[in-house]
């Protein structure tokens, strides 16, 4: 999916919500456990219920890998289901990959050839040749970790170099040498709302994937205020707050209600955007 197509979907749906399918078998409604593939059944119901209110789904691989190969089957079925039935959705493999070149090539095959994701999250620690193999696929995206939403982000990401540049700022600057804003996005945690203003000085035109709204305490209004650009430039992820808002048989309706609430708030913020036409 191109940047323009993503922006068009955002305008059409009046939403920049990404629903995180962090599906934990220990948290899904009990009645689903009797089915053949409870994780896929849960995801399918959540997707069908929320698709009107979001433009993207993010699948965090940890939750699937914790179930071994059968978790991966649920993951692949989910991506395939979204791709076939809701082709306007942007599908993110939240795998935080990154390895030496020949190994990153294998990861790229895994997410773009074997399964048809639109984007994959990548850790920048190993540098350019760990990221580049993901960039050879047209209309596919790397979402590079820059400033994450957890406490541990303070340990290394905020370390200032001798030039005064903090590590996450160097990641933002340096990675622009590898590809344009048509192929790279950045992960920026919502718990660091005001810092978005500084980040926008370095990456004014890039899309940012913003986790941490909701369960992790970030404010959507603050993210929109400091992070939005002329093409919206934001995908705000919400996982637990939406998908686990109810654990009865009415879980999907409850998720839809939560997603709709966020989408309606987003509509307000999208009015702030000077639309590029």
Residues that bind a second copy (CB under 8 A): 22, 24, 60, 62-63, 65-70, 72-73, 75-76, 96-101, 103-104, 106-107, 109-110, 113-115, 123-131, 145, 148-157, 159-162, 164, 167, 170-171, 174, 211, 216
- Shortest distance, position 91 Cβ to a second copy, whole Å: 15
Residue 101, helix vs strand vs coil: helix
Return the number of the residue (120 or 262) whose C-beta is nearest a second copy. 120
37-76: b (≥16 Cβ within 10 Å) or e: ebbbbbbbbbbebbbebbbbbbbbbebbeebeeebeebbb
Return the number of the residue (65 or 268) whose C-beta is nearest a second copy. 65
* Identified catalytic residue from 44, 77, 96, 132: 96
- Shortest distance, position 238 Cβ to a second copy, whole Å: 14
Residue 231, helix vs strand vs coil: coil
Distances (CA, A) of 185 to 131, 140, 269: 12, 11, 21
Residue 75, helix vs strand vs coil: helix
Task: Give me the residues paired with residue 63 across strands.
Answer: none
Return the number of the residue (25 or 247) whose C-beta is nearest a second copy. 25
Contact (CB, 8 A) for 94 and 60:
yes
Question: 251-270 and 38-50 are packed helices; what angle lies between their axes, rounded to 10 degrees?
Answer: 40
Return the number of the residue (34 or 113) whose C-beta is nearest a second copy. 113
Return the number of the residue (11 or 25) whose C-beta is nearest a second copy. 25
**Active-site annotation holds for 140:** no
Give 112-152 as a DSSP string: IIIS--SEEEE--TT-HHHHGGGGGSTT-EEEEEEE-SSTT
Token output for 140: 């596919």
- Shortest distance, position 74 Cβ to a second copy, whole Å: 9
- Shortest distance, position 87 Cβ to a second copy, whole Å: 21
- Shortest distance, position 151 Cβ to a second copy, whole Å: 5
Active-site residues: which are they? 96
């Amino acid at each position: 999916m191109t940047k323009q197509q993503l922006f068009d979907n955002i305008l059409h749906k009046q939403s920049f919500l990404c629903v995180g399918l962090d599906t934990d078998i220990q948290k899904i409604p009990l009645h689903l456990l009797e089915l053949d593939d409870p994780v896929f059944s849960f995801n399918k119901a959540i997707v069908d219920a929320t698709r009107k209110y979001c433009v993207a789904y993010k699948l965090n691989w940890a939750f699937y890998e914790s179930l071994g190969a059968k978790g991966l089957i649920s993951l692949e079925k989910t991506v395939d289901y979204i791709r076939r039935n809701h082709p306007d959705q942007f599908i993110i493999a939240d795998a935080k990959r990154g390895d030496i070149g020949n190994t990153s090539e294998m990861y790229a095959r895994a997410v773009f050839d074997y399964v048809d994701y639109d984007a994959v999250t990548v850790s920048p620690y190993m540098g350019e040749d760990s990221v580049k193999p993901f960039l050879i696929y047209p209309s596919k995206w790397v979402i590079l970790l820059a400033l994450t939403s957890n406490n541990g982000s303070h340990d290394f990401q905020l370390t200032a170099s001798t030039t005064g540049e903090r590590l996450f700022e160097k990641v933002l600057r340096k990675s622009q040498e590898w590809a344009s804003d048509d192929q790279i996005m950045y992960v920026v945690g919502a718990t660091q709302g005001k810092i978005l203003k500084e980040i926008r000085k370095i990456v004014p035109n890039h899309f940012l994937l913003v986790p941490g709204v909701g369960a992790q305490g970030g404010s959507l209004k603050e993210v929109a205020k400091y992070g939005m650009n002329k093409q919206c430039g934001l995908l705000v992820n919400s996982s637990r707050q939406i998908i686990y808002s109810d654990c009865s048989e009415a879980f999907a309706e409850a998720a839809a209600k939560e997603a709709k609430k966020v989408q309606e708030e987003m509509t307000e913020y999208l009015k702030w955007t000077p639309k590029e036409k």
